[in-house]
Amino acid sequence: MISPPLRTAAGLLTICCVSMVISSASALGRRPLTRAGSVAFAAVPLRPAPAPLLPSALRGGSPRLSNVPGEAVSRIGGVWGAATGRLASLLNLRMTKKDDREVESYGHRFEDLSTSRDGVIKDIAKLARESKHTNKGKKVAIVGSGNFASALVPIVGKNCARLDEFQDQVNMWVFEEQVEGRNLSEIINEEHENVKYLPGIKFPENVVAVPDVKKACEGANLLIFCIPHQFLGGICAQVKEVAAPGCIAVSLIKGVEFDDNGIVLISQMLSKQLGGMDVSVLMGANLAWEIAKGSFCETTVGYKKAENGATIQRLFDDPLFRVGVVQDVPGVEACGALKNVVALGAGFCDGLDLGDNSKGAIIRIGLMEMKRFIQSHFPGVKDETFFQSCGVADLIVTCYGGRNRRCAEAFVRAKGEKTFEDLEQELLNGQKLQGTPCAEEIFRILEAEGDLDDYPLFQSIYRIAFCGAPPESMIAAVACYGSTSDICEIPEELPTADSIVGSEI
C-alpha cells in the first residue's frame, strides 16, 4: 500500500486506468471488450500496486480485463477511489464502487470512448494528468486506539476502502507505549492487530497507526474521537491546528461532564475546543468485544446537520453493525451517560435478589427519569431517541451485562464492607465506573434546581452509593412513584424515604 504522503509526492505520476469490464448483469465479465455493455472502474497506479490488491487479470496486464469479477474491480476501485473519483467527475459520471449493477447503468456512456484497453488507458491517463492530484475523498482519522476504537477500526477501514467518499488510508492515533520491547504503533502496522487492547482481532491494512497526533490528523476531514475525555484538552489543541477546513467530528466518548451551570456534553466540549467544529455522536448497545467478534448489533448516530449524519452513517454502517440516525445530539449522548446510573439501580436489584418484576420496574422507572431529566435539560430532545439503540437497547444491555450493574450488585452483597472505590479496583482491572460519578453530579444538579422529588430513583441510588442508605430503600423510594393513587405506605420492613433523607452527608 502506498501511504498518502507518498501518494501526494507522487502526484502526477499516479496515472489511472479505467478498465471497461464488459458483462451482463447476471454473468459479469463474460463478454469481449468490444461490447461496452457495462462498466466498472479499476484505477491502478503506474507504480506496481501490492500484489494482493490486484486481481490476476490486472497484474499481468492481461488483455482479458473482462475476466475480472465485478466485485474485485470494485474493491480495487475502492483502494484508488480518490483518483478515479476525480476522473469520474471529469467524465460527468457518477463515481461508484459499491455495486457493479449500479456501475452498469452508466456503462452506455462509454460507448463513444475507446474500446481497446490501451485506448482507455491513454484517455484516462490524459484526464488524470489534467486532474492533477485533486482528491475528493474525505480523509478519516481516529483519535484513540483503546478497546472500543479498535473494535470499530475493521468496519471503518473496510468502509473507507469500499466507498469513494472516503480516502482509503485511515490514520489511527496511537498513544505510544512499549509492548514487549516494541512500539505499539509499529506492532499494529506490522501485525495489523492491537495486541495490547484488542488482541486476536485483525485490522484492515489500510488502517495505519500513527504515534504523533498531529501527523495522524493532518488534513483530516472527519475525526473520530474515542479517548477518555480527560485527555481531550491537550489533544484537541493539536488536532485543531492540523485538521482540514470544514472538518467534522464524531464522538464515541461515553459520559458527561458537569460545571457550575450544570451538565456539559462531551460533544459540546469537543466542539468548543475544536473551534466550533460540527460534532456528531455515536452511542448504542455496543460492548466492544462483541462488535469485534462480529456479533450483530445496532448503534445510533445523533447528528445536527443531516449531511454530516449521513456521512457518518455510511462510514460506520455494516450488515452486522447497523447504524440508525436521529437528528438529536444531546438526546443520544445523554442517554449514553445516564443509563449507567440506572444500571446501578438494576445492580442493587440483583444484589437484593428481588426478581424479574422488580428489575423490570427499576429499568422502566430509570428510563422515565432519564427521559424526564434529558428532555427538561435539553429542550427538543425527541421521544423517538429513547426507542433507538442508544436509548432502550443500550439501557437493557447495560442493566444486564455492564460493569456498573456488576459493581452495584457486589456493593449490596458486601453489606457495607466495601465502597465503590474498593469494588472498582477489585473487579474492573483499571477501568472506571461511570455510573457513580454521574449519579453524584445528577444529584447535585437536581438538588440545586429543587427537583429532587421528581427523581425518586436517581435520588435513592445516590443516597445508597454515597450516603450509607440501605439498598432496600430504593424500593421504598420508588414505591411512592408515579401513581395518582392515594396510598403510599412504605412497608414496615423497608426504611422510609424520610429516614434516608436524614442520612445525607
DSSP string for residues in 62-79: -S-GGGS-HHHHHHHHHH
Closest distance of CB 359 from a second copy, Å: 8
For a second copy, give the closer residue by CB, 141 or 475: 475
Closest distance of CB 481 from a second copy, Å: 7
For a second copy, give the closer residue by CB, 275 or 360: 360
Question: Which residues would be at the binding site for a second copy (CB under 8 A)?
Answer: 98-99, 285-287, 290-291, 293-298, 310, 313-314, 317-320, 322-325, 354-361, 363-365, 367-368, 371, 383, 386-389, 392-394, 396-397, 400-401, 475, 478-491
Catalytic member of 254, 339, 359, 371: 339
What region, left, alpha or beta, does residue 354 occupy, with left being phi > 0 and alpha being psi -120 to 50 degrees? alpha
382 labelled catalytic: no
For a second copy, give the closer residue by CB, 216 or 337: 337
Question: Looking at 289-440, which runs of residues are DSSP E strands?
Answer: 297-302, 321-326
For a second copy, give the closer residue by CB, 321 or 411: 321
DSSP string for residues in 454-467: G-HHHHHHHHHHHS
- Report the candidate in 285, 294, 286 with the shortest Cα–Cα distance to residue 201: 294
Q: For residues 28 and 257, give the distance between their C-alpha atoms in angstroms, rounded to a whole number.
A: 55
Closest distance of CB 218 from a second copy, Å: 29
Closest distance of CB 347 from a second copy, Å: 15
Mark out the alpha helices in 389-492 (DSSP H runs): 394-401, 403-413, 420-427, 435-449, 456-466, 473-478
Q: Are 254 and 248 in contact (CB under 8 A)?
A: no
Helix (H/G/I), strand (E/B), else coil: 443: helix
Residue 121 is placed in which grid cell?
488507458
- Name the percent of the chain in helix, strand, coil, to the closest 5: 50, 10, 40
Closest distance of CB 151 from a second copy, Å: 11
CA distances from 234 to 184, 214, 230, 240 (A): 21, 11, 9, 10
For a second copy, give the closer residue by CB, 47 or 101: 101
Q: Which residues are catalytic?
A: 339
